[in-house]
């Protein structure tokens, strides 16, 4: 009995580790099975994610290919539209506008006696006709000729001593697609000399030209020729360099009907922005003119012939500066000025060849003006301009029977003690971009005596008109 109990006890003792071992083995097996299942699920999830990524990449590639195809299609369509518009629409439908300028002018002195001592007038220099008159009318047509060229034609109608004169003011072609910032203009155009010269008169801030433009450019200089420009590839600064070769048939040239290249002009403009509301531009120009028989009106009291004729060299340097700033409440301020320096050397023939003298002239002129826009439609401006002349004259032959000094004075080349100067004030109203009315008063002392000048000007634009230059 005791032996049986002992065997049972030993069997029980031995069965405990065996049961524990069996339980551990089952747990381990279960854990291993769980790990296997987790791996399988993880691999399935990764595989599903990889399949989704592949599908997304395929869709992106398809979309990119469609976008490229669409861009190509759009580019082709745009080229076709542009070619059609340039070869057909623009050929028969240029932008056409008409600008009418006129008004009433009143002077306290005789406008026919307008002159500057030491600087005989030429070109279209002079005052507006007194009384009510049409000062100027411009017919402007412009269009892109094709993708390479742009053209513009300006026909001007001017009043001269009560008669209407028709004139081709501008007829030029610009290139549109030269590489490297280069550009060409050829035909008839206003020279890029100084700042104001390139602007049409209806874009001027005063009813008349500054004294320096009257004296040195015959009011405004244009000619037949070629202009080449280069604009530097800068981000925040405008740098433009240019050169012009002109025929020389217009004042301050003259007499070069069968010549080309009698006038050379080099110019440079730089400019930029100051903050968000202001901008500036500086310019310098140098014009060399080979003058052949340039005629001028001489002094108002001169007599005989068609006025003195000058042949020789004329060199003109112009410095210009412009500042524009926008103020609060639709207000704005513009400051503008130009300084002229001219050297001329040659011979003057007067009195139908009965008097010939050497002429060596050094002349200066400048103006400074400010325009204040105090309302969206109203502006006020003030301008001061001045001239100076220092000429050396030596008579070579005189068979007129008059004194040499009288000949010098009558021709207008004698520089005296009077330095022409003038104050001008204006007020204009611009109800829309197509119309402007201006009242201007000038105290002109360019002839040694005060001339009180009053202008009431209108500027009316009919049709589409392109934006003006800076």
Condensed to tens digits (0 to 9), the pLDDT of residues 434-445 reads 999 999 999 999
In angstroms, the CA 26 to CA 87 distance is 91
In a domain, 285, yes or no: yes
pLDDT at 350: 93
Angle at alpha carbon of residue 418, lines to 413 and 424, rounded to 5°: 110
In angstroms, the CA 319 to CA 341 distance is 9
**C-beta of residue 183 within 8 angstroms of C-beta of residue 158:** no
**C-beta of residue 355 within 8 angstroms of C-beta of residue 395:** yes
In a domain, 468, yes or no: no
Looking at the fold, whether 72 and 118 belong to one and the same domain comes out as: no
State the CATH number of the domain containing residue 200: 2.40.160.10
ω into 236 cis (within 30 of 0): no
Looking at the fold, whether 257 and 334 belong to one and the same domain comes out as: yes
Instruction: Judge residue 365's burial from the number of C-beta atoms within 10 Å of its C-beta, 0-12 exposed, 13-18 middle, 19 or more buried.
Output: buried
In a domain, 51, yes or no: yes
Looking at the fold, whether 89 and 107 belong to one and the same domain comes out as: no
Instruction: Judge residue 101's burial from the number of C-beta atoms within 10 Å of its C-beta, 0-12 exposed, 13-18 middle, 19 or more buried.
Output: buried
- Domain boundary residue, one of 58, 93, 128: 93
- Contacting residues for 244 by C-beta, under 8 A, at least 6 apart: 191, 192, 225, 226, 227, 228, 263, 264, 265, 266, 267
* Upper half-sphere CA count for residue 318 (Cβ side, 13 Å): 26
In a domain, 331, yes or no: yes
**Which of 383, 401, 361 has its CA nearest to residue 205?**
383
In angstroms, the CA 418 to CA 413 distance is 13
Looking at the fold, whether 99 and 88 belong to one and the same domain comes out as: no
Which residue range is the domain that position 172 belongs to? 95-463
pTM above 0.85, yes or no: no
In a domain, 389, yes or no: yes
Looking at the fold, whether 352 and 280 belong to one and the same domain comes out as: yes
In a domain, 470, yes or no: no
**C-beta of residue 243 within 8 angstroms of C-beta of residue 251:** no
Looking at the fold, whether 81 and 148 belong to one and the same domain comes out as: no
Report the sign of the C-alpha dihedral through residues 252, 255, 260, 261, in that order.
Answer: negative
Looking at the fold, whether 206 and 83 belong to one and the same domain comes out as: no
**C-beta of residue 389 within 8 angstroms of C-beta of residue 118:** yes
**C-beta of residue 282 within 8 angstroms of C-beta of residue 265:** no
| Ranges of the chain whose pLDDT falls below 70 | 1-31, 33-46, 48-49, 53, 56, 58-92, 161-162, 256-258, 298-306, 466-467
Looking at the fold, whether 337 and 442 belong to one and the same domain comes out as: yes
In a domain, 233, yes or no: yes
How many domains does the chain fold into?
2
DSSP category for residue 201 = G
Burial call 247-258: b when 16+ CB within 10 Å, e when fewer: bbbbbbbbbbee
pLDDT at 79: 54
Looking at the fold, whether 31 and 10 belong to one and the same domain comes out as: yes
Looking at the fold, whether 21 and 132 belong to one and the same domain comes out as: no
Looking at the fold, whether 114 and 83 belong to one and the same domain comes out as: no
Looking at the fold, whether 80 and 106 belong to one and the same domain comes out as: no
Tokens of 16: 């405990």
- Domain boundary residue, one of 93, 123, 142: 93
- Domain boundary residue, one of 61, 76, 93: 93
């Amino acid at each position: 009995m005791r032996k049986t109990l002992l065997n049972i006890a030993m069997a029980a003792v031995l069965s405990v580790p065996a049961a524990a071992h069996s339980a551990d083995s089952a747990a381990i097996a279960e854990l291993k099975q769980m790990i296997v299942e987790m791996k399988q699920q993880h691999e399935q999830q990764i595989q599903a994610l990889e399949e989704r990524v592949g599908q997304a990449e395929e869709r992106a590639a398809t979309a990119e290919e469609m976008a490229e195809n669409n861009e190509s299609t759009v580019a082709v369509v745009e080229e076709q539209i542009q070619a059609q518009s340039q070869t057909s629409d623009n050929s028969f439908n240029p932008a056409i506008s008409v600008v009418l300028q006129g008004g009433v002018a009143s002077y306290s002195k005789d406008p026919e006696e307008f002159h500057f001592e030491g600087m005989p007038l030429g070109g279209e220099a002079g005052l507006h006709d007194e009384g009510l008159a049409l000062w100027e009318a411009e017919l402007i047509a412009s269009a892109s000729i094709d993708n390479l060229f742009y053209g513009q034609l300006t026909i001007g109608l001017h009043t001269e001593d009560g008669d209407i004169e028709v004139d081709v003011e501008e007829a030029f072609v610009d290139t549109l697609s030269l590489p490297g910032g280069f550009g060409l203009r050829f035909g008839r155009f206003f020279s890029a000399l100084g700042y104001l010269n390139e602007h049409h008169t209806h874009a001027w801030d005063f009813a008349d030209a500054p004294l320096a433009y009257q004296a040195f450019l015959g009011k405004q200089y244009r000619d037949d020729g070629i202009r080449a420009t280069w604009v530097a590839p800068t981000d925040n600064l405008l740098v433009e360099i240019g050169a012009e070769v002109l025929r020389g048939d217009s004042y301050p040239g003259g007499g070069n009907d069968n010549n080309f290249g009698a006038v050379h002009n080099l110019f440079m403009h730089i400019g930029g922005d100051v903050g968000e509301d202001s901008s500036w531009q500086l310019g310098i120009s140098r014009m060399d003119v080979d003058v052949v028989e340039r005629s001028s009106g001489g002094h108002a009291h001169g007599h005989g012939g068609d006025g003195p004729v000058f042949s020789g060299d004329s060199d003109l340097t112009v410095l210009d500066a412009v500042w524009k700033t926008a103020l609060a409440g639709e207000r704005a301020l513009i400051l503008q000025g130009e300084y002229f320096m001219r050297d001329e050397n040659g011979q003057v023939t007067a009195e139908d060849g009965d008097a010939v003298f050497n002429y060596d002239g050094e002349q200066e002129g400048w103006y400074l003006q400010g325009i204040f826009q105090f309302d969206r439609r109203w502006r006020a401006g003030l301008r001061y301009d001045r001239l100076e002349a220092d000429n050396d004259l030596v008579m070579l032959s005189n068979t007129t029977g008059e004194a040499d000094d009288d000949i010098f004075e009558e021709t207008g080349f004698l520089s005296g003690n009077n330095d022409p100067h003038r104050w001008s004030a204006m007020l204009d109203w611009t109800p829309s971009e197509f119309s402007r009315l201006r009242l201007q008063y000038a105290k002109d002392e360019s002839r040694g005596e005060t001339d009180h000048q009053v202008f009431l000007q209108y500027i009316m634009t009919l049709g589409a008109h392109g934006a003006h230059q800076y």
